[in-house]
Amino acid sequence: MKAGNKDKVKKEFDELLLEVRRVTRVTTGGRRMSFRATVLVGNRKGKIGVGTAKGADVTIAVSKASREAYKNIVDVPLTKANTVPYVTTTKYKSCLVKLLPAKGGTGLKAGSAVRSVLELAGYENMLSKIIGSNNKLNNAIVTIIALGNYKHADFFKNLLEKRNTVEETADDTVEETKPVAKEAAKKVPLTTEEKVAPAAKKAPAKKAPAKK
């Protein structure tokens, strides 16, 4: 990719530094200090990505995390009201996120990393609930997973078409089997037992003689 194309991609996407943490690694020579950065990338038109990386300096960690975020970009669905198509609940590790669609003018009712992810993805009207953990990285990941798991409208159209075809074939088979069953019932001759059975039912029962 040329340098000019890279600049266009970076201008199209907005970057947000979600979190910076100082981490330590214990070695034989002692403790080694480093920084872990988490960066979100989105174009506010249905594309979102998250990346995390470590570095000896904050700037190095942030630049590495931004490169990772561009590699992990995911397409998410956006409706006309800039919300999600339907309610969904997704769990990742100890984090559980519930996303609910909302009408235009409701606004974005979300907090923590979930709000940052939804804003960069382009959502404007939505309700959400976080349960289980306050870890920003895990909350961002579970939100992106939930948005990426939404089915497209074509999926539901194909599902309805398959269901209609199955119902039509079932109705046709039922209609075909009915006349065949009637004809088979007419052709089957009665056995001697079946002929004697109705005659036995019609025969009057003998009365016992009255006692004197």
| Per-residue pLDDT reduced to its tens digit, 99-109 | 999 998 999 99
Query: Parallel, antiparallel, or unpaired: how do β-strands 108-109 and 126-131 relate?
Result: parallel
Which domains, ranges and CATH numbers included, belong to the chain? 9-75 (3.30.160.20), 88-152 (3.30.230.10)
pLDDT tens-digit map of 125-173: 999 999 999 999 999 999 999 999 988 766 666 777 788 887 777 766 7
What pLDDT is stored for residue 110 in this prediction?
93
CA dist 204 to 195, 201, 210, Å? 17, 8, 18
What pLDDT is stored for residue 183 in this prediction?
62
- pLDDT beyond 60 at 119: yes
What pLDDT is stored for residue 159 in this prediction?
73
What pLDDT is stored for residue 151 in this prediction?
80
Which of 148, 150, 125 is CA-nearest to residue 73? 148
Q: In the predicted model, what is the mean pLDDT of residues 10-38?
A: 91
What pLDDT is stored for residue 129 in this prediction?
94
Predicted TM-score (pTM) of the model is 0.70
Six-digit token string for 87: 């309610």
